[in-house]
Amino acid sequence: MPWKGEKNPYKIWLSEIILQQTRVDQGIQYYRNFIEAFPDIQTLANASEQKIYKLWEGLGYYSRCRNLIETAKHVAMNLEGTFPGDYESIRKLRGVGPYTAAAISSFAFNEPRAVVDGNVFRVLSRIFNIDTAIDTPQGKKFFSALADDLLDHEQPGIYNQAIMDFGAVICRPVPRCTECPFNKNCKALLQNKISSLPVKQKKIIVRKRWFNYFLVECKGRYAIRQRVEKDIWRHLHEFLLVESSRILTRKKIHGELAKKNHLEKNSFEVKSVSPVFRQRLSHQLIEGRISFLKCRKKPELPGMFWVKKEELNQYAFPKFIKQYLSDVSAVAKDSL
């Protein structure tokens, strides 16, 4: 991992923001791309948001990217480009919680702050056989106190990295107990409770949504818009969208577009309809199809702008649309 042993707080912060809700193997290349494009926080603060979002494309949880941009600008403009050097100051940065602040302050500045992430929750709950739910205020407080008690105050950075790596490599969700140095002392293993720990109290309620996207083309240009509403994929780009409660048949497309005042009937031809695409978010399941429409004359589409085919790759799209654009089998030969 390229950030291992790193002491530069900017690079540690960048790696931690990228790895929030992202697997390490997926995040490594994104980290390298960001460091190459933005070697320091001043460069990141001065970059165009479109370029930053494009580099972030595919990582998901785009609020992290918004926080990244705002924090970079704050440090560059209000802190003279110097990253904060202690836990309390780092904690005040946008998008930085207790875990991230502890990681940065201990790795970069050797401050004795215990890191408690998913790996640490898993290790501690199993070794000590703790069935207190980790997603409750009581559980978070209890595990944080335990982690603080166990912390090596002389080498907090090394200790934090070690216990996190241990959870990632050995005490995984499906653990490698036969290789574990604690297998003679792990209370959960001795009581055959490994698979039930750690405990989570809350159940995620998944909201299902159906997105009918329409890639509208007229004279070699394509209509896109930027999502600005406080909703998923904010600041990313998309095609013309009609959200519905269920799948639309090909026959319904003309009526829906007319009803929504997007396009007049008989002003376009449906050239192709994609297979169903699905994208699972933390609390939502997005399903839908993308229809390719060819218009006879350029329609008035408020909030949308027109780009050439070769310009499409300059904009950041949700994975839902990116998959469509990259899947040759899903796009008609007479479209893209």
Are 59 and 22 contacting, i.e. CB atoms less than 8 angstroms apart?
yes
Q: Which residues of the chain are modeled with pLDDT < 50?
A: 328-336
pLDDT value of position 157? 92
Could you write out the DSSP letters of every residue in 173-224? SS--GGG-TTTTT-HHHHTT-GGG-S-----PPPEEEEEEEEEEEETTEEEE
Residue 261: predicted pLDDT: 62
Query: What are phi and psi for residue 240, nearest 5 degrees?
Result: -60, 130
- Give the pLDDT score at 334: 42
Rounded Cα distance between 217 and 271, Å, is 10
Residue 98's closest CA among 115, 123, 122, 121? 115
Look up 16 and say whether it is catalytic: yes
Confidence at residue 297, expressed as pLDDT on a 0 to 100 scale: 86
Dmax over CA atoms of the chain, in Å, equals 75
- Choose, from 6, 16, 88, 287, the residue flagged as catalytic: 16
Q: Which domains does the chain have, with CATH numbers?
A: 9-196 (1.10.340.30), 207-330 (3.90.79.10)
Structure confidence at residue 3 (pLDDT): 86
pLDDT in tens, 30-59: 999 999 999 999 999 999 999 999 999 988
Measured N-to-C along each axis, helices 98-109 and 9-19 cross at an angle, to the nearest 10 degrees, of 150
Query: What pLDDT does 244 receive?
Result: 84
Q: Which two tokens stand for residue 23?
A: 């697997």
175 preceded by cis ω (within 30°)? Answer: no
Contact partners, residue 170, CB within 8 Å, separation at least 6: 176, 179, 180
The whole-number pLDDT of residue 168 equals 86
Give pTM, 2 decimals: 0.76
